[in-house]
Amino acid sequence: MSDDMIITVISDIKKILNEKQVLVDVPMKEHTSMRVGGNAKVLVLPSCTDEIIETVKYLCENKIPYVVVGNGTNLIVSDSGYNGVIIKLSDNYSSVSVNDNIITAEAGASLVSVSNLACEHSLSGLEFAAGIPGTVGGAAVMNAGAYDGEMKDVVFEVTCIDRNARIVRLCNEELQFGYRTSRMQKESLVVLEVKMMLKKGDKEEIRNKMKELNRRRREKQPLNYPSSGSIFKRPEGYYAGKLIEEAGLRGYRIGGAQVSEKHCGFIINTGTASATDVIELIEYIKKKVYETSGVMLQQEVKILGG
């Protein structure tokens, strides 16, 4: 967007949102878990469904590039930033309700907090999500999972808006869940709300399982460093971390970005990494793993801008 266009966009969006919800030239390293990246030209923080719909409708009608994010846990923004509008849902759009064995969560709700809420209501099925740092919307879009559990196992309805800002409600069978993918991802649908159907269980058993899975995460994952979680999808028949280790890349660094010594499937920011360091390391890992194993790794993390 040109400078004149940015001024117009900001002015127009402020007619939909209030001034405090529209931020300009925002360092995305402050909004991503890898803690790297340049500035977003405009970042907006809608607080209700109508605000999201009206904002998306305005951006689509005016052909303004935009992307919707949650906590930025699976996102790397390039050092040159993003020349468009980023709609962030985790700050203001995160209410959750429980009705019997059904949890309804707005897209920006923390997956960890929702799994904790399920435990408090003696609802089983979200134990696997106890340590996943993203939002419910992002988790549904990528069918997030861990320890033999996935979002597809609990989601029964998702409310979205399409690229024309029309509301679409999809049941589980229509969501086309696959390994780290879904219909929302394929069709660039914006998730508004996720309904999850859980099972009644024993609160203490649920809590103990969550504690055990979090203990295993702490043992195996480099949680004391900024990262974007698993960088690569699991190749069929292989484990990405093992392939990376076999390629001799444990601890390998480019600038401040490093293959984790603790878990080779993670890239960590040692404190001085740039987005360029991370992106170059991703490409180098792909190259070396392909050379040593013949397997081409597919990245799970999304790269924005450039």
Structure confidence by residue, pLDDT tens digits, 29-52: 999 999 999 999 999 999 999 999
Which is the catalytic residue, given 127, 180, 193, 228? Answer: 180
pLDDT tens figures, 94-131: 999 999 999 999 999 999 999 999 999 999 999 999 88
The Cα 71–Cα 58 span in angstroms is 23
pLDDT tens figures, 204-254: 999 999 999 999 999 999 999 999 999 999 999 999 999 999 999 999 999
The pLDDT, as a whole number, for residue 143 is 95
Which is the catalytic residue, given 106, 150, 193, 300? Answer: 300
Report CA Rg, the chain. Answer: 20
Which is the catalytic residue, given 110, 228, 230, 260? Answer: 230
180 counts as catalytic: yes
157 counts as catalytic: no
Last residue of a domain, one of 36, 60, 88: 88
Does 54 lie in the same domain as 128?
no
Query: Number of folded domains in the chain?
Result: 3
> Is 169 within the bounds of a domain?
yes
Mean pLDDT across the stretch 61-87? 94
Last residue of a domain, one of 88, 116, 132: 88
pTM for this model (two decimals): 0.92
> Is 216 within the bounds of a domain?
no
CATH of the domain at 136: 3.30.465.10
Range of the domain at 131: 96-205
SS3 per-residue string spanning 73-95: CCEEECCCCEEEEEEECCCCCCC
